[in-house]
Structure 1
């Protein structure tokens, strides 16, 4: 079975693997840091979105702890009354942090988690750390008694490799501590947490976070296997394949991609309920659970584990309706919803939840960081591949945002501006960079040609996760601007 694209819409996982390695000899070899670059800026036809960005940028940067006495490079990632950074939160804030120039902070904190995942702790990283890099004791009593949740193990691997694609920083795939962590997360960790030997990481079903739980949803339900766990495991395997390919291990990369494909096949076969006509979101000792479970429900489509087609379409409707019908719950959970729907091209639903999160103006750090991230990867549809000096875009603007430009987007050593006017016209300005960029301008729908800098070029039509896209790849030299329209 051929592995499906993961969290990289518009560029298949296979394309990323090949192009990243092909560029290995010439890719930016520095640390990819954007800290000295011009500040990220946004302009749009929506005063509301302009205000969202201004608030989120300031609020996110206010949480930076770097430079304060006794701190490591870090930012606040967790409850505002807990001076610490948490694994779940860091994984979800890394994209926004990178866009704001916080690359040193991202890799610093990731390494702290990586080195904490020991055999004694059954390969779990610790849940939270102080800003000096020490253990945050609220969530740790001993190596047998600390907060731990299965999805975080895999998300740290996924998001670490994702930062390699955004920054081109080879430390994300070459650093010994990070590489050991990635490897252990998809090997020893799964082996130590797979009681029924079906290849899916599980927990004991106590529902007690200090003993280990299978899901991010801390409702004490007692899941043995959870949707957010298996979905995050799937993405970690795909990310590990990319990292192996970047390190020159073609055979290993193919083996990991096969493991991801096999896991997805297992899911489609064993996590579907014919009686409920719906995906299963987890298993307790009493059996399968098909009702709504927040994270262990929406992570299934958010991570691309569900297959394109009627099942996923119906499940996305189920998630949207279920969240809409519930009374308000913790804002952190809502921050995942925009990317869940943007991933599948459901712009109106994604925008509804983007607005809900942004309108909250909640101090919780994940709110501001993910607002920035969802502008870049959601509304603008940016898909990075810095090691290959490449990116793709697909406009996903709701009617409330007639045009949008994000300026000084850091992609490796490149400084870019990405603009969409509606969903049929795009522009890329390559302010500066060490070499030309390959920009794949994509548009939803089937078109025979794309107007590139005023000249018609044949369009390549592909289907990505059930969505028809028409695209053309344009070489954009440093200092140049290119436009594409359908």
Structure 2
């Protein structure tokens, strides 16, 4: 703890002209961001580590990064300027997929550039959660949308990873939509098989929930399959392969329908989260990933899921997802509550790396609604803070440039520093006929958020180095 505190102090003293600076009229929120930024940056690897650029995204004593954590932390990392680290770690995961490992990659790698021995013995004996390929695929897509770097979708290493994951990986692990409940308990197990050996028993865990005995399938893996195939379809569409993309969207929909038709407990008004080898359904922590993978289209069931999640206690890994997923579903007051809870010095294990990265993402993407879509060279903003709050952030890296954003309930300003003009999609909650910039009135368009609330928006072109302010009545 002393070393970690010293690192935090050095980061504060050193400063960085390009480091993101966040301000808010909510002093607790500003303090939460400052703590999270300092903590997250303290996990940056040393420049001479053999693995190349990386940041801690696993249990801290391991000096390592695992697939689930990186998939979760990458946008927070990008916001904090850890672009080289993201590129390197995601490339390593994609690069190390192999037939010898039944189209798995390395679940966890360390600063030496090796598979972490805590999770890997050899290509036949290792720990692997099957959600990982689809989580990383979705992370690659989100990184492309945020940065505009086509490496994440076009580079041969990434293309091979994506292609293998939606084909050989699904087939090898018997993850077709009609096989989920009848597949063998341990496909591709080492021979001879030792159930007491975690590297045998957990070589292909069908869930991120690791504490369920005799697990056959987790609903979170089905949600991951849905999101992975949806993501693959989006990548294909970006490359002009619309007919092929449509086929994968149909496959994705089979998984989503399976969740709704098989896993919803109407009596409890809650999703089952796992089924064991004897066919018994049960409930646990997997609901969080139904939201993370955006697999719920029924707003009533989504609301019931969120109500159940926020009324119970979860481990800090689960809670670290809450700021951004609750914001995504329109529960901004709850998102703020969890941001402040996660940053509270009294919260146990708040030093776990996902926590600080999750707080950064929850504030910038969640409460400030900053998002990007490289397909249209577009940046979006939407104020989701408390009505009386003001929020501002300087030097956010996005779309090969940097932006400064200031927001209030009915006003937003954005300045972009980059090489080319961008489209700013300025969003406001509620129904507004016009969005104004100076003396100009722009007819607003409307969309509905996931809770059915109206969002008004307008697209404006913003030249490099220019600033613009927009308002609504």
- Which interval holds the TM-score relative to the shorter structure? 0.7 to 0.9
Q: Distance in 2 between matches of 1:249 and 1:111?
A: 24
Q: What displacement does 1:402 show?
A: 0.4
1:50-449, aligned counterparts within 5 Å?
Answer: 50-194=30-174, 198=178, 204=185, 210-287=202-279, 289=281, 291=283, 293-294=284-285, 296-323=286-313, 330-359=315-344, 360=347, 362-398=350-386, 402-422=389-409, 424-430=410-416, 432-449=417-434
Contact 2:98–2:104, Cα closer than 8 Å, also in 1: yes
C-alpha deviations, 1:117-171, integer Å up to 9, x for none? Answer: 2122121221111213112111112222211112222110000111011111111
1:470 correspondence with 2:456:
yes
Q: Distance in 2 between matches of 1:196 and 1:183?
A: 16
Q: Distance in 2 between matches of 1:439 and 1:238?
A: 26
Q: Distance in 2 between matches of 1:387 and 1:428?
A: 20
Partner residue of 2:28? 48
Moved more, 213-222 or 203-212: 203-212
Aligned residue for 2:340, secondary structure, equals helix
Q: What displacement does 1:49 show?
A: 2.1
The verdict on how the C-alpha distance between 1:453 and 1:283 changes in structure 2, with shifts beyond 3 A counting, is farther
C-alpha deviations, 1:45-64, integer Å up to 9, x for none? Answer: 12222222222222222211
Partner residue of 2:192? none
Contact 1:386–1:411, Cα closer than 8 Å, also in 2: no
Q: What displacement does 1:288 show?
A: 5.5
Q: What displacement does 1:199 show?
A: 6.2
1:455 correspondence with 2:440:
yes
Moved more, 235-244 or 337-346: 235-244
Partner residue of 1:483? 469
Q: Distance in 2 between matches of 1:182 and 1:195?
A: 16
Contact 1:199–1:263, Cα closer than 8 Å, also in 2: no
Moved more, 469-478 or 61-70: 61-70
Aligned residue for 2:468, secondary structure, equals strand
Moved more, 95-104 or 383-392: 383-392
C-alpha deviations, 1:14-57, integer Å up to 9, x for none? Answer: xxxxxxxxxxxxxxxxxxxxxx9822111111222222222222
C-alpha deviations, 1:177-220, integer Å up to 9, x for none? Answer: 11111111122211122267516597727795633312212213
Q: What displacement does 1:253 show?
A: 2.4
The verdict on how the C-alpha distance between 1:434 and 1:281 changes in structure 2, with shifts beyond 3 A counting, is same
Aligned residue for 2:228, secondary structure, equals helix
Q: Distance in 2 between matches of 1:267 and 1:245?
A: 25
Q: What displacement does 1:234 show?
A: 1.8
Partner residue of 1:31? none
C-alpha deviations, 1:349-385, integer Å up to 9, x for none? Answer: 1112122212138222112222211112111112211
Contact 1:213–1:222, Cα closer than 8 Å, also in 2: no
Q: Distance in 2 between matches of 1:274 and 1:71?
A: 49
Q: What displacement does 1:429 show?
A: 1.4
Moved more, 456-465 or 81-90: 456-465
Aligned pair count? 441
TM-score normalized by structure 2? Answer: 0.87
Contact 1:302–1:341, Cα closer than 8 Å, also in 2: no
Q: What displacement does 1:466 show?
A: 4.2
Q: Distance in 2 between matches of 1:168 and 1:156?
A: 17
Contact 2:32–2:339, Cα closer than 8 Å, also in 1: no
For structure 1, which runs of at least 5 residues remain unmatched after alignment? 1-35, 324-328
Q: Which has the bigger relative contact order, CA under 8 A and spacing at least 6?
A: 1
Aligned residue for 1:447, secondary structure, equals coil
Partner residue of 2:189? none
Could you say what the CA RMSD is over the residues aligned between the two structures, in angstroms?
A: 2.4
Q: Distance in 2 between matches of 1:176 and 1:371?
A: 33
Aligned residue for 1:135, secondary structure, equals coil
Q: Distance in 2 between matches of 1:485 and 1:109?
A: 41
Larger radius of gyration: 2
Q: Distance in 2 between matches of 1:110 and 1:186?
A: 17
Aligned residue for 1:81, secondary structure, equals helix
Moved more, 195-204 or 51-60: 195-204
Contact 1:130–1:136, Cα closer than 8 Å, also in 2: yes
Moved more, 102-111 or 216-225: 216-225
Aligned residue for 1:186, secondary structure, equals helix
